[in-house]
Chains A and B, each alone.
Chain A
Amino acid sequence: MKPFAPLATPSARVTVPLPKADVGVNRPPGTLDFDRVYQAHAQTVARWAARLGGPGVDAEDITQEVFVVADRRLREFRHESQVATWLFSITAKIVANDRRRRRIRRWWLRLTPNAGHDRAATTDSPLEQLERRERRRHFYEALDGLGERQRRVLVLFELEGLPVAEIADLTGLRAGNVRVLLHRARAAFLKRMTARELSESLARPDPSDASDPSDPPARTEERE
């Protein structure tokens, strides 16, 4: 199976549309088949889990939890919305719980955030892999400061590449609300990203100081 490899150029439009299967649409209650739902939506749910959860998330585990819940509640599905909308709400809640658990675990064990594995970029050089991992970590660090709804909208728009109408369908919001949420999410994201870049540049030592003979290590040696 050919792995999913989006184009790396910023100008390229990478849009992963929702599956257009007729699963769960205009069917009477109780006629949904779990196998069909699973085959149609398993990869989408795994992708949502990976992109909403960020580095360190176990997409396979989240997918399993989502479909366990879906299997248990399949008979209660009232067909008032698409199955994808229903699955996205389950996925978002489970990912939010998982993120909360991981945050508590990190705080309790004094762990640093995991940058995750970039298994898709197997053809890249190690330097490129490292650089991509760092950028990914920065993205999710800036994203962690957003609220849950802003986070979902931003991920669906910028990472999934969905139009506003589909985001509104998935999240159960109106299109105008999605635009407002997206505008605020992007502004908050850019603000946090800028602040982070600024703090990193301040913490980074000035390269011109390395050639200065009166640098602190030299003075330390003089004292010794």
Chain B
Amino acid sequence: MKPTRPQEPIRWRDRDADAHALESRAALLADAARHVQPLAPRALSRVRSEVVAQRSRRYRFGGFGIGRLGVRARFAFAIGLVILCVTTAGGAKVLWRKVVAAARGPAPAAVEPSTRPTAHPAARVSARAVAVEAPPEDVPPPAVEAPPTAEPATAPPAVRETPKPRAARRALVVAPSIQPAPLAPVEPPPSLAEASAPAALGSPRPAPAPTGPAPSPPAPASEAALVAEALVDLRQRHDARAALATLDRHAREFPHGVLETEALRTRVEAVIQLGDLKTALRILDGKVASTEALGADLTLTRAELRAAAGRFREALSDFTEVVDGAAGPLVAGGDERALYGRAVCLGRLAQDDRARADLLAYQKRFPEGRFALEVKRLLAGKESSPRP
């Protein structure tokens, strides 16, 4: 017969002490350990009041009862809190920009909300970055001039007083040159707005006063109207950021428009006006398909930017194309800048004979030119070339 198993184990203290001496000794220890004094009523009430106090503290400081939420709810709450913080920070940033823009001057009137001046990547480069990247001297400053239009002769000879930002002025001052070269003569801005906008839209020319009311862009705006608005922003209101915003809108709406070159020219001018020479050079470097499509003026600008960046070989090829006329007709004063720039690049590349020949040619062709004094000093001095 199979022995039945006892249902309940026998405790040590219930065993026979004589037959199980070891268990009886363990029972003695267990009896001693069994002595526990219950909590006094005062201790019980103290514990309860402490628990209730912790509960009230938890509800008061626990974030509206977040402690009662489950794990998923807490996770969702944390994600929502992060999103809220990010959006709040973004909104505060936008508000700060608006406040700063309002404090700096009147906002451009009647500008579509999408064309408001926003933070363009080109405007984020600080003056310090531009100044640090400035190469050594003996390179002509990149002349910031208005690009010519197809009819430069009909442009009104209005003197342009572009208030350049401090970064741009500093970059131009520290730009490499043989001597502190005089700034490029201010060219009359043959505005594309003057050339194309009236013809395209048949509307009167916008008011020349910067603070005057500007015509609101038609909706949907035509390509010429967008480019014209960018030019007005850039040359009359002197607001390069607004111009860049308008050009961004143009790039979105007309990615392959017929005025792409004009838009590119305006964009480069706006970026240079903001003092971001690096971005301007990057924009022009991206258009290396053919200098003929780029135009002589943009090729000349690119050559000067490359020389300012220390890329003398590439600048020399650009200068040579401009001087030889392969890049197309030049704006007034462009050949003078090209000839002097090529001489500087040749001097930097240790081609002294060719540099001297260019300097002599400059002296012969432009005896009263803007670089005449510098060329004369170089030719008469000990140095035989613009190389320092």
Binding stretch for chain A, among B37-45, B115-123, B209-217, B296-304: B37-45
A68–B40 Cα distance when bound, in Å, is 19
Q: Does B349 contact A (CB under 8 A)?
A: no
**Please, which residue of chain B has its CB at the minimum distance from the CB of A164?**
B8
Interface residues of B in 10-44 (CB under 8 A from A): 11-14, 17, 22-41, 43-44
**Please, which residue of chain A has its CB at the minimum distance from the CB of B12?**
A158
Known interface pairs A4-B37, A10-B24; A71-B55 also in contact (CB < 8 Å): yes
Residues of A in contact with B, size category:
35 or more
Known interface pairs A38-B48, A72-B67; A12-B32 also in contact (CB < 8 Å): no
Docked-complex contact B39 and A136, CB < 8 angstroms = no
Known interface pairs A139-B29, A190-B22; A10-B38 also in contact (CB < 8 Å): no
Q: Which residues of B contact A161 (CB under 8 A)?
A: 11
B296 to chain A minimum Cβ distance, whole angstroms, is 78
Among B32, B38, B40, B46, which residue has its beta carbon within 8 angstroms of that of A47?
Answer: B38
Q: Does B51 contact A (CB under 8 A)?
A: yes
**Please, which residue of chain B has its CB at the minimum distance from the CB of A118?**
B35
Known interface pairs A72-B68, A164-B8; A6-B30 also in contact (CB < 8 Å): no
Q: Does A14 contact B (CB under 8 A)?
A: yes
B277 to chain A minimum Cβ distance, whole angstroms, is 63
Q: What 1/0 flags go to A153-172 for Cβ under 8 Å of B?
A: 00001110101100000000
Docked-complex contact A189 and B11, CB < 8 angstroms = no
A186–B17 Cα distance when bound, in Å, is 16
Q: Does A223 contact B (CB under 8 A)?
A: no
Q: Which residues of B contact A75 (CB under 8 A)?
A: 68
Docked-complex contact A10 and B32, CB < 8 angstroms = no
Q: Does B47 contact A (CB under 8 A)?
A: yes
Known interface pairs A67-B47, A68-B51; A158-B36 also in contact (CB < 8 Å): no
Known interface pairs A67-B47, A139-B33, A159-B30; A10-B17 also in contact (CB < 8 Å): yes
Among A42, A76, A139, which residue has its beta carbon within 8 angstroms of that of B32?
Answer: A139
Docked-complex contact A159 and B33, CB < 8 angstroms = yes
Docked-complex contact A8 and B31, CB < 8 angstroms = yes
Docked-complex contact A46 and B39, CB < 8 angstroms = yes
Number of B residues whose C-beta is below 8 Å from A? 40
**Please, which residue of chain B has its CB at the minimum distance from the CB of A49?**
B36
Docked-complex contact A51 and B36, CB < 8 angstroms = yes
**Please, which residue of chain A has its CB at the minimum distance from the CB of B15?**
A10
A190 to chain B minimum Cβ distance, whole angstroms, is 6
Q: What 1/0 flags go to A1-22 for Cβ under 8 Å of B?
A: 1011010101111100000000
Docked-complex contact B33 and A193, CB < 8 angstroms = no
Q: Does B54 contact A (CB under 8 A)?
A: yes
Q: Which residues of B contact A110 (CB under 8 A)?
A: none
A60–B70 Cα distance when bound, in Å, is 29
Docked-complex contact A10 and B33, CB < 8 angstroms = no
Q: Does A119 contact B (CB under 8 A)?
A: yes
Q: Which residues of A contact B44 (CB under 8 A)?
A: 42-43
Among A121, A163, A183, A190, which residue has its beta carbon within 8 angstroms of that of B26?
Answer: A190
Known interface pairs A10-B12, A10-B17, A135-B28; A140-B38 also in contact (CB < 8 Å): no
Q: Which residues of A contact B313 (CB under 8 A)?
A: none
A202 to chain B minimum Cβ distance, whole angstroms, is 17
Docked-complex contact A157 and B34, CB < 8 angstroms = no
Among A67, A159, A163, A189, which residue has its beta carbon within 8 angstroms of that of B34?
Answer: A159
Q: What 1/0 flags go to A21-61 for Cβ under 8 Å of B?
A: 00000000000001100100011001100110010000110
Extra 19 A-B pairs, beta carbons < 8 Å, given A135-B33, A186-B26, A189-B26: A10-B12, A11-B13, A46-B39, A47-B38, A51-B36, A59-B39, A60-B39, A63-B39, A64-B47, A75-B68, A120-B37, A134-B32, A136-B29, A142-B29, A158-B12, A190-B22, A193-B22, A193-B29, A194-B22
A sample of 8 inter-chain contacts (CB < 8 A) reads A59-B36, A64-B51, A72-B58, A139-B29, A157-B11, A158-B30, A186-B12, A197-B25
**Ranked 6 nearest A-B pairs via Cβ:** A135-B32, A139-B29, A10-B13, A120-B37, A139-B33, A50-B36
